Structure 1
Amino acid sequence: MSHKPPFTRQIALPRRYVAYLRVSTSRQGDSGLGLEAQREAVTRYVEQVGGVLIDEVVEVESGKLRDRPGLLAALAHCRSKPATLVIARLDRLARNVAFVSSLMDGGVEFVAVDAPYANRLMLHILAAFAEHERDMVSARTKAALQAAKARGVKLGVNGARLAIARKTEAVAFAQKLAPAVEVAKAAGCTTLAQISDHLNACGWRTREGSAWCPATTRRMMARLAETPQPVM
């Protein structure tokens, strides 16, 4: 007489998501301009689909760059869990058709909240529109700068002042974290990943309010290395 194994019901686990939020300037990152709207859209989507948001990566970087540390960290996290990358809008990844296409072939699932049911063809079309919009904005900006220069306007003065102010703020923030970094080293943390984990465990966040990763820790420690430390 044969005995059938008892029936066991497989419980479906909720899909895990890693949020990627991006703004193009440090001023936007410091003020939260654009970030809160992205965070709200992403959080609302994950709740609606019954998923779990396991991490968030905030990056202040131009979308033109391919090797963005924050995006690379978010993609690596998605591969290791595994999880789905979630973004508020497709242009938060890039306004470049080739780049978006390479991500689709990169082995990491991603979903844009503004087009959650878009297939590959639709994503290509949306990326093409975003790329066209980027080119149009760039052309209008160049034309406006040339017109201002022709009128005798001196360009770049305010930008240089803002750059100095932002760097000063970044250095001050790094100095504030110097004791926490020393504590991490004293506790045996030797790698950027270990120091990042220590800062996160102690409740420290980056200037943008996100968790530390090796890339952001490296930049913060580079600012500390450039700053003369007081002699005790």
Structure 2
Amino acid sequence: MFRRFIAYRRVSTEQQGRSGLGLEAQEAAVQGFLAAQGSQAKLLATYTEIESGKRDDRPELTKALEHVRLTGATLIIAKLDRLSRDAHFLLGLQKAEVDFVACDMPSADRFTVGIMAMLAQKERELISERTKAALAAAKARGRRLGNPNGAAHLRPYGNARAIEAVRLDAQERAERLRRIINELRSSGVTSANGLAKALNERHVATARGGTWTARSVLNVMERL
């Protein structure tokens, strides 16, 4: 009798997705594991997620889990330790109540990932608290946060990866603001000045912790 598998793999950026960095290694780990199972192992499908670990929506993971439920297959991932700080993934895996196997930790089970999820969530909270405290302390000392030229100051050094990282971070924040901006526009607040005022009234901070202006709203709208 065939043992059926659905593979799920994830990388953090579009650049990694295009280059295959990370994906090829995950594919090799999955294929190696399946080969060790013999001819009875059958891979039904592979779902690939290109998402930042900061985001909580995982559409490809949702599809993979649904496919697993429909077929009675086993979800297979290459490296559980690579996802051990992704609380959303781990909780989803635990709550899905499906069979799964991690190539690097074949003995892991729902109890294991439940503990990992709690630790991952706590670590994210601690990182956030430390970052906010450090920024507040710097601001209290009168230090201006950020660079007025954005990522442009990195170009003379040829640091294309750093520039791309800044761009992706700005894009991710814009995506997180999409829902609230759409709600405001649906309620009749459509001008940049009106959106800026509404965001400030809701205490939504800008990426640098400041207040919204029409220009900063337009910057976000352009990214969306």
TM category (shorter chain) comes to 0.5 to 0.7
Q: What's the counterpart of residue 87 of structure 2?
A: 96
The separation in 1 between residues aligned to 2:24 and 2:9, in whole angstroms, is 9
Say if 2:143 is the partner of 1:153: no
> Contact 1:18 / 1:54 at 8 angstroms: preserved in 2?
yes
More helix by percentage: 2
TM-score (norm 2): 0.53
- For structure 2, the residue ranges without an aligned partner over 5 or more in a row are 152-162, 172-224
- 1:150-199 Cα distance to aligned partner (Å, 9 max, x none): 47634643359856xx9xxxxxxxxxxxxxxxxxxxxxxxxxxxxxxxxx
Alignment coverage as a number of residue pairs: 151
Distance 1:151-1:108 versus aligned 2 partners, 3 A rule: closer
Q: What's the counterpart of residue 104 of structure 2?
A: 114
Q: What's the counterpart of residue 37 of structure 2?
A: 49
The separation in 2 between residues aligned to 1:75 and 1:93, in whole angstroms, is 18
Q: How does 1:67-216 map to 2 (within 5 A)?
A: 67-90=57-80, 91-92=82-83, 95-96=86-87, 100-132=90-122, 134=124, 150=144, 153-154=147-148, 156-157=150-151, 158-159=163-164, 162=167
Distance 1:42-1:156 versus aligned 2 partners, 3 A rule: farther
> Contact 1:84 / 1:108 at 8 angstroms: preserved in 2?
yes
SS in 1 for 2:10: strand
Query: How far apart are residue 123 of structure 1 and its match?
Result: 2.2
Distance 1:151-1:120 versus aligned 2 partners, 3 A rule: closer
> Contact 2:6 / 2:76 at 8 angstroms: preserved in 1?
yes
TM-score (norm 1): 0.51
- For structure 1, the residue ranges without an aligned partner over 5 or more in a row are 1-12, 167-232
Identical counterparts, % of pairs:
45
Q: 1:23 aligns with which of 11, 14, 19?
A: 11
The separation in 2 between residues aligned to 1:34 and 1:136, in whole angstroms, is 27
Query: How far apart are residue 74 of structure 1 and its match?
Result: 1.1
Q: What's the counterpart of residue 22 of structure 2?
A: 34
Larger RCO (alpha carbons 8 Å, 6+ apart): 1
Distance 1:80-1:151 versus aligned 2 partners, 3 A rule: closer
> Contact 2:77 / 2:102 at 8 angstroms: preserved in 1?
yes
> Contact 2:84 / 2:120 at 8 angstroms: preserved in 1?
no
SS in 2 for 1:33: coil
Letter paired with 1:22: R
Distance 1:152-1:100 versus aligned 2 partners, 3 A rule: closer
Two-structure CA RMSD over aligned residues (Å): 3.6
SS in 2 for 1:22: strand
Moved over 6 A (4+): 139-147
Distance 1:76-1:121 versus aligned 2 partners, 3 A rule: closer
115-124 or 32-41, which deviates more: 115-124
SS in 2 for 1:63: coil
Query: How far apart are residue 20 of structure 1 and its match?
Result: 0.6
The separation in 1 between residues aligned to 2:55 and 2:67, in whole angstroms, is 20
- 1:113-154 Cα distance to aligned partner (Å, 9 max, x none): 22111233322233344445555666777789887x747634
